[in-house]
Amino acid sequence: MNKYYFILILGGITFGTAAIFIKLSGMSPGMIAFTRFFIAGLILSRGRLHLRRILSQWKVGLLLSAHMILFIFSVYYTTIIDSTVLVSTSPLFSLALAPLVGIPTTKKEIITGAVAFMGVILMNFPVNQGYLLGNVMAIISALTIALYTILLSKTKNEDPLLLTSYIYLMSSVFSFPIALVEGPGRVDLVSILSLLGLIALPTLVGHTSVIYASGHVKPQHIEVIGLLEPVVATLLALPIFNQVPTPLEIVGGGMIVLSVSILTWRR
């Protein structure tokens, strides 16, 4: 398997932990987004900070910040399964938007994307109307991350870790005003440990894998592989929050895993 696909699959698995850590944390959405990106950005910078280069990533930084804040809010206003499933509709947006910026889409990508999306629908059926606000936030979050991935594929940088650092730091800049307005929220040992988990797994491994593979893997493929997130989140929500997956969620999750397998086979 191509190393970039292997790294993306690893990143997709770690994405599934994000909603778990967010649900466990009592910190505000703005504070979570700001601190996770600020700390991760400093770690990856290795002390090589260049203000002009950081500011040059304002477009992708804004989209990543918007995606993260909307996703965190959606976790608070709906279930973990609904949030992660709906935010994983991003491949649908990616498949539709990529050709508009000159990135062609093959039949295989359309078929695997469609099968994966059908799996997403099954995992989220029927929609709980009481969670409508959180569900809408998750869908908008999916749109912003699809735009982010497409725009990221056009970004060039010799050092992918430095590029990742600059994007994270720029995202923290956009998240900071919201963190100030909301305040820190509940800060205790569980919240701090959850934040460290967010930084270590879905941020330093997950989002970094996307940036590292951009330019080498088509954004449509990145988004489909990212659909591993709701599968992993559903599995983790069972022992931690006693959220038992339904038969439809199991079937839908199987369809997603199958689509990712087909897409990455012999790559």
Query: Is it the case that residue 192 has pLDDT exceeding 90?
Result: yes
- What was the pLDDT predicted at 105? 82
Query: Is it the case that residue 17 has pLDDT exceeding 80?
Result: yes
Phi, psi of 90 (to 5 degrees): -55, -35
Query: Is it the case that residue 124 has pLDDT exceeding 80?
Result: no
Query: Is it the case that residue 266 has pLDDT exceeding 70?
Result: no
- Residue 128's pLDDT band, with cuts at 50, 70 and 90, is low
pLDDT digits (tens, 9 = 90+) for 46-77: 888 899 999 999 999 999 999 999 989 988 88
- What was the pLDDT predicted at 215? 81
pLDDT digits (tens, 9 = 90+) for 76-106: 888 777 787 778 778 778 888 888 878 888 8
Instruction: Give the residue with greater pLDDT, 127 vs 237.
Output: 237
Specify whether the CB–CB gap between 8 and 225 falls below 8 A. Answer: yes
User: What separation in angstroms does the CA of 83 have from each of 107, 119, 122, 238, 258?
Assistant: 29, 15, 14, 15, 21
Omega cis (within 30) before 126: yes
Chain centroid to CA 236: 17
Q: What is the mean pLDDT of residues 159-176?
A: 94
Q: What is the mean pLDDT of residues 113-118?
A: 83
Structure letter (DSSP) for residue 217: B
pLDDT digits (tens, 9 = 90+) for 218-255: 888 888 888 788 788 878 888 888 878 888 888 888 88
pLDDT digits (tens, 9 = 90+) for 129-152: 657 788 889 889 999 999 999 998
Q: The pTM is what?
A: 0.85
Q: Which of 234, 227, 229 is nearest to 90 (CA)?
A: 227
- What was the pLDDT predicted at 132? 79
Query: Is it the case that residue 265 has pLDDT exceeding 90?
Result: no
Sequence-distant (6+) residues with CB within 8 A of 263 are 108, 109, 112, 221, 224, 225
